[in-house]
């Protein structure tokens, strides 16, 4: 079959493009090497919706950032994912560097960022009592926000599916080439033909770009490491705290997450390996040391997990969006490093618009813009919640004790469009396993539910697809145990 | 709202023993709420023997031990709600819980006994660098998978941390045909009981590497190997001492954390060291009528001590609801002196204390030829010589009431290791 569009990569960018394209009469397919959406950089970042004062004035990056930021509220209502404008503060520690803060403020104004304000050190301390004393001043951006990057990406993807886009997982693209008037995308599961290709392959976007264009680009994976703290510490700061880069180097941010944890990071180290998402001792130590420059009394004993993500850093530090001159119909969304998450909705619109022009697409009349997320019973009143449990007892069974996730939510996560197929898939959709015990209690239960719902033996349930099975087989008496347990349940 | 004399949160050995003792001490309506699908707590997965030597003078397995207490509770007609998670306890002792049959419900308790046990410390808390593949389990999760679900977490195993669960799992995995390559412990001594080192490691030729930790984790999908390194006195890895181990499984037995989220949110005062509530001689928290016992109070190494402690909590809760527990009058603090990490209880109201009050504590490192002392406002009232004391084994002294009464205006009782 010949598709109109083939999108490589199901990160936030690929999914935003898919959702925007699904507004049109189009046949589109997203090809992703992992088993789920949001398995690359989109799952490991700061989750900040930047206000838009960072990018050079007048740049594409600045324009898409501000546009993405502005759309986020409406989008979060339309697609039912959590987003909160908590505001951000860029803290300047050194009076000698105040002119640079002033310059940042002015760049923000030039980029059309709303509500920016320069604060004195005292004013900033009043807003955030845990800032280090003696700071010289701060830039306050009330439009800065926090989001759940998984739920954003999943919401975009689910909505795209409902509107007719196809997703192929566990399908790695090996090469792309021209075949007459269309493109041939060779994957490990056969070839895909399409009139247009959208290159949203994250840190691999240079590889695919360079297969079709002589105008080469180069992407360096730039690693960022993080610590995530228990929800008990989620109010240590209320705004997102950045440090103004300066004499003390580049800072790391400290921010509440939209789920109430505290996130601290990232570092920045250029590495050669596009798969190098390992954390390092040096990196984690650097996170702790740098965070302490701006925020005091950080309760680092309450770290529940640490992780790392890779920025797709293009040599010119610019978003490369559009068709290379020598490759009509091949649309790049490359070099999408921070603020890529914030810009994703606007990148989606821009790419879809280029494709629309190229293929002369028409709007669908039956586009469904609304999506409903997984029902969270904890948000219901007690009476409503009990009605729900009465109808569906699974909502009365808590599986993840730390985050209070019920069996009902987990089953929903599996059964909905593009449903979860692994522990990580469940975790990103429901938060089961994201809490302080880090899945110690709930993983055997979640495995059991996945096994039942997907009719797969427990041995085939994975952490994140591929060869990541959780258990390697039965114990010597395993079968006996199971039959005795079934007896219990009768 | 339905009211009970005593509501017990957690149906492990602590909750069960507290219920039985409370009933025998004359409490009326008692209810145990347990979130798991069976009663018995962590004991259900401890299928090895060695339980009950103190309590029943015989060697039982974990489920057998729990079974004895469950039978007593049944005999006394104490209702237990399983699959029921307590979501919240108000400082007014209104308990909010949920299960799939009744939905969410609220009940009023005359007294509450906190017996929620503990959870295991996870990899994240240790900040072990490296990749995050499948194959990394806390030892208790692996124990549950093997003993209760019948699945093997892996075939080639490295264990980090020498807590008892890790040691027991080293043997269990070996018996199931897995190869346990090494147990690494960051500290210069073993965290678990000596008997477990002998019976679970030495008998199977499994090496224990003290002063070692995991410094790297490899494998993107499933674990492929870990790197161990020796650490210096401050716990930092020493460059050049790295050794690679190929393995598909890493078990972590690196400490237990009392599950006190409920306690904290109801306003119970917590101890920084035990991560459990601060209690007085009656095992009562700062909120009158709220008691705590078992692993939620402080981590125990033997369940027999849990049962004994929980029985005292149960009796005191019964006295409280029957109006027989006099109001707490100014308390004397029990202080961890030299070499002692913590003491439970942390406060004593001498007028309410028993003739011989058990005070439990742990030391901060290994001491040989140690002299343990108890001083009331500086005056030596008790001492005990021990050949060896270790952090991994809980110590107990029986504090005599008459010695405390003898010291007028007593302010503090200090427990210390004075020699060794
Ligand atoms: C440390 C860090 C912090 C950040 N913080 C922020 C922030 O706070 N705010 C913000 O706005 N942005 C932030 N960003 C940037 C943001 O995370 C990224 O811009 C965004 O996630 C990029 O999305 P993507 O879809 O382009 O890439 P990805 O999410 O990486 O998606 C690319 C997808 O392509 C797939 N793929 C690759 N190769 C192939 C192949 N051969 N075949 C099939 N599929 C393939 C991958 O598996 C992956 O799923 C941060 C980034 C990092 C690393
Ligand atoms: C993995 C492990 C292995 C051990 N092995 C040994 C051994 O070999 N030998 C030995 O002597 N001792 C052993 N111990 C120690 C001993 O068994 C424990 O000290 C004892 O089980 C503690 O009893 P407990 O009742 O305090 O806690 P638990 O047994 O943990 O029981 C607490 C109960 O409370 C429930 N609960 C918690 N929160 C809620 C809530 N919100 N609502 C409802 N219910 C709740 C839990 O589900 C659990 O069932 C082991 C302990 C552990 C953790």
Residue A248, pLDDT score: 73
For residue A186, give Cα distances in angstroms to A172, A174, A196, A332, B385.
9, 6, 14, 18, 77
Residue A488, pLDDT score: 40
Task: Find out whether B196 and B206 touch, Cβ atoms under 8 Å.
Answer: no
A384 in reach of chain B (CB within 8 A): no
CB atoms within 10 A of CB B203: 11
CB contact under 8 A, A436 and B119: yes
- Per-residue confidence in pLDDT tens, chain A, 490 aa: 899 999 999 999 999 999 999 999 999 999 999 999 999 999 999 999 999 999 999 999 999 999 999 999 999 999 999 999 999 999 999 999 999 999 999 999 999 999 999 999 999 999 999 999 999 999 999 999 999 999 999 999 999 999 999 999 999 999 999 999 999 999 999 999 999 999 999 999 999 999 999 999 999 999 999 999 999 999 999 999 999 987 777 789 999 999 999 999 999 999 999 999 999 999 999 999 999 999 999 999 999 999 999 999 999 999 999 999 999 999 999 999 999 999 999 999 999 999 999 999 999 999 999 999 999 999 999 999 999 999 999 999 999 999 999 999 999 999 999 999 999 999 999 999 999 899 999 999 999 999 999 999 999 999 999 999 999 999 998 766 655 544 343 3
Task: Find out whether A125 and A232 touch, Cβ atoms under 8 Å.
Answer: no
Task: Find out whether A65 and A339 touch, Cβ atoms under 8 Å.
Answer: yes
B382-417 burial string, b = 16+ CB within 10 Å, else e?
beeebeebbbbebbebebbbebbeebeebeebbbbb
Q: Is A154 in the pocket of ligand 1 (CB under 6 A)?
A: no
Q: Is B34 in the pocket of ligand 2 (CB under 6 A)?
A: yes
Residues ≥6 apart with Cβ < 8 Å to B272? none
Task: Find out whether A420 and A414 touch, Cβ atoms under 8 Å.
Answer: yes
Q: For residues B6 and B419, what is the distance between their CA atoms, to the nearest angstrom?
A: 44
| Token pair of A123 as six digits | 């004013």
Question: What does DSSP say about strands B103-114 and B2-9: parallel, antiparallel, or unpaired?
Answer: parallel
Q: For residues A430 and A398, what is the distance between their CA atoms, to the nearest angstrom?
A: 12
Q: Is A200 in the pocket of ligand 1 (CB under 6 A)?
A: yes
A483 in reach of chain B (CB within 8 A): no
Q: What is the DSSP string of A273-329?
A: -TT---B-HHHHHHHHHHHHHHBSS--GGGEEEEEEEEEEEETT---EEE--TT-TT
CB contact under 8 A, A475 and B176: yes
Q: In this complex, which of B124, B155, B220 lies closest to A306 when CB atoms are compared?
A: B124
Task: Find out whether B11 and B82 touch, Cβ atoms under 8 Å.
Answer: yes
Q: State the DSSP H helix or E strand holding residue A472, giving kind and residue range, or none if neither.
A: none
Q: For residues A114 and A102, what is the distance between their CA atoms, to the nearest angstrom?
A: 16
Mutate to test the interface with B, among A172, A260, A396 (most CBs of B within 10 A): A396
For residue B33, give Cα distances in angstroms to B7, B20, B207.
8, 14, 42
Domain segments of chain B: what residues?
Answer: 1-120+256-325, 122-254, 328-420
Residue A477, pLDDT score: 82
A260 in reach of chain B (CB within 8 A): no
Gap from CA of B45 to ligand 2 centroid (Å): 10
CATH architecture of B122-254: 3-Layer(bba) Sandwich (3.50)
Ligand in nearest proximity to the CA of A29: 1
Residue B253 has pLDDT above 80, yes or no: yes
Q: For residues B61 and B328, what is the distance between their CA atoms, to the nearest angstrom?
A: 39
Residue A269 phi, psi dihedral angles, 5° rounding? -140, 125
Residues ≥6 apart with Cβ < 8 Å to A455? none
Residue A293, pLDDT score: 94
Task: Find out whether A130 and A236 touch, Cβ atoms under 8 Å.
Answer: yes
pLDDT tens digits for range B324-337: 999 888 789 999 99
Task: Find out whether B237 and B216 touch, Cβ atoms under 8 Å.
Answer: no
Whether A50 is catalytic is yes
Q: For residues B155 and B179, what is the distance between their CA atoms, to the nearest angstrom?
A: 6
Q: Hey, which of A7, A62, A201 would you mutate to test ligand 1's pocket, going by the most ligand atoms within 8 Å of its Cβ?
A: A201
Residue A490, pLDDT score: 32
For residue B388, give Cα distances in angstroms to A124, B211, B360, B385.
55, 20, 17, 9
The fold of B328-420 is: Immunoglobulin-like (2.60.40)
| Token pair of A370 as six digits | 């609304």
Q: What is the DSSP string of B225-257?
A: EEEEEEB-TTSPBPTT--EEEE-SEEEE---EE
For residue B292, give Cα distances in angstroms to A59, A370, B51, B258, B270.
61, 49, 22, 11, 11
Kindly report whether the peptide bond that precedes residue B301 is cis, defined as omega within 30 degrees of 0. no
Q: With respect to CATH, is domain A1-83+146-218+315-373 assigned 3.40.50.280?
A: no
Q: Work out the angle between the directed axes of helices A423-430 and A407-415 (0-180°, nearest 10).
A: 110
Q: Is A13 in the pocket of ligand 1 (CB under 6 A)?
A: yes
Q: For residues A345 and A349, what is the distance between their CA atoms, to the nearest angstrom?
A: 6
Domain segments of chain A: what residues?
Answer: 1-83+146-218+315-373, 84-145+220-307, 377-487
Q: For residues A37 and A469, what is the distance between their CA atoms, to the nearest angstrom?
A: 19
Q: For residues A271 and A289, what is the distance between their CA atoms, to the nearest angstrom?
A: 21
3-state secondary structure A411-451: HHHHHCCCCCCCHHHHHHHHCCCCCCCCCCCCHHHHHHHHH
Query: For B143-166, what is the mean pLDDT?
Result: 96
Residues ≥6 apart with Cβ < 8 Å to A339? A48, A50, A52, A54, A55, A61, A65, A68
**Same-fold call for B1-120+256-325 versus B328-420:** no
* Ligand 2 nearest atom to the CA of residue B39, by list position: 49
CB contact under 8 A, B145 and A227: no
Residue B123 has pLDDT above 90, yes or no: no
CB contact under 8 A, B124 and A304: yes
Task: Find out whether B306 and B294 touch, Cβ atoms under 8 Å.
Answer: yes
Q: Hey, which of A29, A34, A41, A226 would you mutate to test ligand 1's pocket, going by the most ligand atoms within 8 Å of its Cβ?
A: A41
Q: For residues A236 and B44, what is the distance between their CA atoms, to the nearest angstrom?
A: 39
CB contact under 8 A, A305 and B124: yes
Residue A1, pLDDT score: 86
The superfamily in CATH containing domain A84-145+220-307 is D-Amino Acid Oxidase, subunit A, domain 2 (3.30.9.10)
* Ligand 2 nearest atom to the CA of residue B293, by list position: 26
- Compute the nearest-CA separation of B218 from chain A (Å): 9
* Ligand 2 nearest atom to the CA of residue B48, by list position: 8
Strands (E), A173-244: 173-179, 182-187, 190-199, 219-229, 240-243
Mutate to test the interface with A, among B10, B98, B142 (most CBs of A within 10 A): B98
Gap from CA of A202 to ligand 1 centroid (Å): 5
Owner of token pair 């390697």: A472
Q: Hey, which of B84, B257, B295 would you mutate to test ligand 2's pocket, going by the most ligand atoms within 8 Å of its Cβ?
A: B295
Q: Which residues of A touch B137 (CB under 8 A)?
A: 440
- Mean per-residue pLDDT of chain B: 96
Owner of token pair 């030039």: A110
Give the class (CATH, top level) of B1-120+256-325: alpha beta
Q: Which residues of A touch B118 (CB under 8 A)?
A: none
* Residue A57 DSSP symbol: T
Q: Is A145 in the pocket of ligand 1 (CB under 6 A)?
A: no
Owner of token pair 């080639």: B156
3-state secondary structure B14-41: HHHHHHHHHHHCCCCCEEEECCCCCCCH
Q: For residues A321 and A336, what is the distance between their CA atoms, to the nearest angstrom?
A: 9
Total number of residues shown for chain B: 420
| Token pair of B173 as six digits | 């995995």
The superfamily in CATH containing domain A377-487 is BFD-like [2Fe-2S]-binding domain (1.10.10.1100)
CB contact under 8 A, A469 and B134: yes
Residue A484, pLDDT score: 52
């Amino acid at each position: 079959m010949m598709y109109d569009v083939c999108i490589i990569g199901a990160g936030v960018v690929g999914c935003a493009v898919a959702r925007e394209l699904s507004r049109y009469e189009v046949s589109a397919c997203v090809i992703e090497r992992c088993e789920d959406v949001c398995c690359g950089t989109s799952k490991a970042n700061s989750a900040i919706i930047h206000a838009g004062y960072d990018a050079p004035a007048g740049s594409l990056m600045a324009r898409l950032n501000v546009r993405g930021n502005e759309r986020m509220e409406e989008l979060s209502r339309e697609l039912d994912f959590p987003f909160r404008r908590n505001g951000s503060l860029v803290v300047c520690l050194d009076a000698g560097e105040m002119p640079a803060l002033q310059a940042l403020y002015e760049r923000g104004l030039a980029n059309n960022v709303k509500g920016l304000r320069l604060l004195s050190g005292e004013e900033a301390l009043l807003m955030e009592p845990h800032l280090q004393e003696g700071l010289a001043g701060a830039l306050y951006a009330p439009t800065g926000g926090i989001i759940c990057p998984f739920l954003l990406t999943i919401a975009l993807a689910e909505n795209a599916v409902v509107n007719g886009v196809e997703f192929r997982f566990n399908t790695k693209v090996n090469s792309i080439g021209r075949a007459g008037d269309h493109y041939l995308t060779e994957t490990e599961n056969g070839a895909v033909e399409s009139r247009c290709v959208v290159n949203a392959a994250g840190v691999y976007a240079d590889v695919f770009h360079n297969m079709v264009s002589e105008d080469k680009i180069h992407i360096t994976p730039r690693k960022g490491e993080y610590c995530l703290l228990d929800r008990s510490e989620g109010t240590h700061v209320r705004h997102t705290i950045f440090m103004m880069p300066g004499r003390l180097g580049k800072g790391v941010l400290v921010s509440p997450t939209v789920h109430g944890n505290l996130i601290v990071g990232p570092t920045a180290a250029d590495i050669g390996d596009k798969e190098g998402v390992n954390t390092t001792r040096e990196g984690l130590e650097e996170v702790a040391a740098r965070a302490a420059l701006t925020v005091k009394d950080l309760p680092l004993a309450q770290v529940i997990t640490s992780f790392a993500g890779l920025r797709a850093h293009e040599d010119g530090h610019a978003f490369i969006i559009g068709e290379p001159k020598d490759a009509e119909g091949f649309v790049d969304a490359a070099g999408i490093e921070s603020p890529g998450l914030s810009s994703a909705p606007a990148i989606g619109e821009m790419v879809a618009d280029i494709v629309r022009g190229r293929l002369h697409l028409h709007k669908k009349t039956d586009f469904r813009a609304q999506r409903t997320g997984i029902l969270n019973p904890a948000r219901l009143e007690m009476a409503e919640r009990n009605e729900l449990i009465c109808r569906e007892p699974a909502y009365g069974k808590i599986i993840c004790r730390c985050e209070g996730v019920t069996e009902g939510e987990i089953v929903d996560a599996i059964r909905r469009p593009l449903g979860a197929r692994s522990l990580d898939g469940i975790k990103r959709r429901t938060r089961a396993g994201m809490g302080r015990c880090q899945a110690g209690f709930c993983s055997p239960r979640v495995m059991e539910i996945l096994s039942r719902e997907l009719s797969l033996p427990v041995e085939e349930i994975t952490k994140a697809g591929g060869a990541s099975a959780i258990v390697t087989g039965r114990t010597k008496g395993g079968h006996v145990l199971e039959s005795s347990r079934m007896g219990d349940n009768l | 709202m339905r009211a009970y004399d005593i509501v017990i949160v957690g149906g492990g050995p602590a909750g069960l023993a507290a219920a039985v003792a409370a009933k025998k001490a004359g409490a009326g309506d008692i209810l145990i709420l347990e979130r798991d699908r069976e009663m018995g707590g962590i004991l259900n997965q401890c299928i090895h023997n060695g339980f009950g030597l103190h309590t029943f003078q015989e060697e039982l397995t974990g489920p057998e031990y729990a079974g004895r207490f469950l039978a007593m509770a049944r005999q006394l007609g104490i209702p237990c709600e399983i699959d029921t998670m307590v979501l919240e306890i108000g400082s007014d002792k209104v308990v909010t819980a949920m299960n799939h049959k009744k939905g969410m419900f609220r009940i009023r308790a005359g007294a509450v006994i906190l017996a929620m046990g503990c959870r295991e410390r996870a990899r994240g808390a240790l900040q072990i660098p490296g990749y995050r593949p499948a194959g990394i389990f806390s030892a208790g999760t692996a124990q549950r998978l093997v003993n209760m679900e019948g699945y093997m977490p892996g075939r080639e195993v490295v264990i980090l941390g020498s807590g008892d669960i890790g040691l027991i799992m080293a043997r269990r995995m070996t018996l199931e045909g897995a190869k346990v390559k090494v147990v690494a412990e960051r500290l210069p001594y073993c965290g678990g009981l000596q008997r477990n080192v002998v019976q679970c490691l030495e008998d199977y030729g499994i090496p224990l590497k003290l002063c070692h930790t995991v410094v790297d984790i490899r494998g993107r999908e499933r674990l492929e190997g870990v790197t161990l390194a020796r650490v210096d006195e401050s716990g930092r890895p020493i460059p050049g001492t790295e050794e690679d181990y190929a393995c598909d499984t890493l078990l972590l037995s690196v400490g237990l954390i009392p599950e006190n989220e409920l306690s904290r949110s109801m306003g119970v005062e917590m101890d920084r060291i035990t991560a459990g509530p601060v209690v007085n001689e009656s095992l009562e928290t700062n909120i009158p009528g709220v008691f705590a016992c078992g692993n939620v109070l402080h981590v125990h190494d033997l369940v027999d001590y849990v049962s004994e402690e929980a029985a005292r909590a149960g009796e005191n809760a019964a006295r409280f609801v029957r109006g027989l527990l006099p109001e707490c009058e100014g308390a004397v603090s029990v202080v961890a002196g030299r070499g002692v990490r913590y003491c439970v209880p942390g406060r004593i109201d001498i007028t309410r204390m028993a003739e011989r009050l058990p005070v439990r504590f742990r030391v901060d490192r290994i001491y040989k030829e140690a002299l343990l002392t108890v001083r009331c406002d500086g005056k030596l009232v008790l001492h005990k010589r021990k050949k060896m004391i270790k952090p991994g084994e809980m110590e107990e002294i029986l504090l005599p009431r008459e010695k405390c009464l003898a010291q007028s205006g007593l302010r503090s009782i200090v427990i210390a290791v004075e020699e060794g």
